[in-house]
């Protein structure tokens, strides 16, 4: 609750600074609308914003879920099959040198203007932080646990599934938290490049028509959804990986 209260205080302070800048410098609404104008647009355009938010939310959630599944499977494969990591890990690092925005037009050509290209864009953005975090966790298992398991003559596969993976789940949770923040960005980038719906598409149209208040309203919806998604995923991870909470408390 204290974190939420501090966040609200910072947000209100930023709104006040924004209002002061717009009023003191007499900025027209097509340059910088006041927070009151944006809130008014949020209210009067709520149906439009809600309608355009549905595809963006769907793309984000699908990309996040698939990114977690694919990234986790890849990390397990790299840790369990050692030769795979020799070839796949450099490819993962090289892939991060290519900006997602640069290949997004190709994804639209390959997967079409529908949701598929946006979901793939989101997966590509989430793949590295999830895979690298989980893979690091799988490599950093406490040696005491491993030595005890070997003393009890446990099979290598059982050590992996019942010791290394549970011990690495807190690292995976960190990667998922990072991915949760990035996920809406991936969907928006995909909509900017090529789409006929979504909040990213709405922002582009609003910008072209100089409807900056509507553009900020869409941005507020994206921000609210991102925060809600992050806190929901964070609470779910705390519930599922309860031993991490005990260790940090």
What per-residue confidence (pLDDT) applies to 152?
Answer: 72
Positive or negative, the CA dihedral 160, 166, 170, 175 is positive
Whether 125 contacts 181, CB under 8 Å: no
Q: Which two tokens stand for residue 192?
A: 């900017």
Domain boundaries defined on the chain: 38-248
Give me the half-sphere count of Cα atoms (radius 13 Å) on the Cβ side of residue 248: 7
Give me the half-sphere count of Cα atoms (radius 13 Å) on the Cβ side of residue 238: 10
> What is the distance, to the nearest Å, from the Cα of residue 187 to the centroid of all Cα atoms in its chain?
9
pTM above 0.95, yes or no: no
- Cα(125)–Cα(70) distance, rounded to whole angstroms? 12
Question: Mapping DSSP to helix (H, G, I), strand (E, B) and coil, where does residue 113 land?
Answer: coil
Whether 109 contacts 164, CB under 8 Å: no
Across the chain, the runs of DSSP E, i.e. the strands, are none
Tallying the residues shown for the chain, one arrives at 249
What's the CATH number for 38-248?
1.10.3720.10
What per-residue confidence (pLDDT) applies to 176?
Answer: 93
pLDDT by residue for the chain (249 residues), tens only, comes to 666 677 778 878 888 888 788 778 777 777 888 888 888 888 888 899 999 999 999 999 999 999 999 999 998 888 887 777 777 777 777 777 777 777 878 888 888 788 888 999 899 888 888 998 998 888 887 777 666 776 776 777 777 777 888 888 889 999 999 999 989 988 898 888 877 788 988 998 888 888 888 999 999 999 999 989 999 999 898 888 876 655 444
């Amino acid at each position: 609750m204290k974190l939420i209260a501090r966040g609200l205080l910072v947000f209100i302070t930023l709104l006040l600074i924004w209002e002061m800048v717009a009023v003191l410098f007499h900025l027209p609404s097509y340059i910088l609308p006041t927070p009151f104008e944006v809130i008014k647009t949020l209210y009067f355009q709520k149906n439009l914003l809600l309608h355009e938010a549905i595809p963006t939310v769907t793309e984000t959630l699908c990309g996040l879920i698939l990114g977690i599944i694919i990234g986790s499977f890849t990390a397990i494969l790299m840790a369990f099959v050692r030769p795979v990591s020799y070839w796949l890990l450099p490819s993962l690092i090289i892939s991060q040198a290519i900006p997602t925005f640069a290949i997004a037009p190709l994804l639209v050509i390959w997967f079409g203007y529908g949701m598929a290209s946006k979901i793939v864009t989101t997966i590509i953005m989430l793949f590295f932080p999830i895979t690298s975090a989980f893979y690091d966790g799988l490599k950093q298992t406490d040696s005491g646990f491993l030595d005890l398991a070997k003393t009890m003559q446990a099979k290598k596969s059982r050590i992996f599934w019942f010791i290394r993976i549970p011990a690495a789940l807190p690292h995976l949770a960190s990667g998922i938290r990072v991915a949760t923040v990035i996920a809406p960005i991936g969907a928006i980038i995909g909509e900017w490049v090529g789409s006929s719906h979504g909040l990213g598409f709405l922002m582009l149209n609003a910008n072209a028509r100089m409807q900056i208040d509507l553009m900020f309203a869409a941005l507020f919806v994206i921000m609210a959804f991102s925060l809600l998604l992050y806190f929901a995923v964070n609470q779910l991870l705390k519930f599922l990986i309860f031993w991490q909470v005990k260790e940090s408390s």
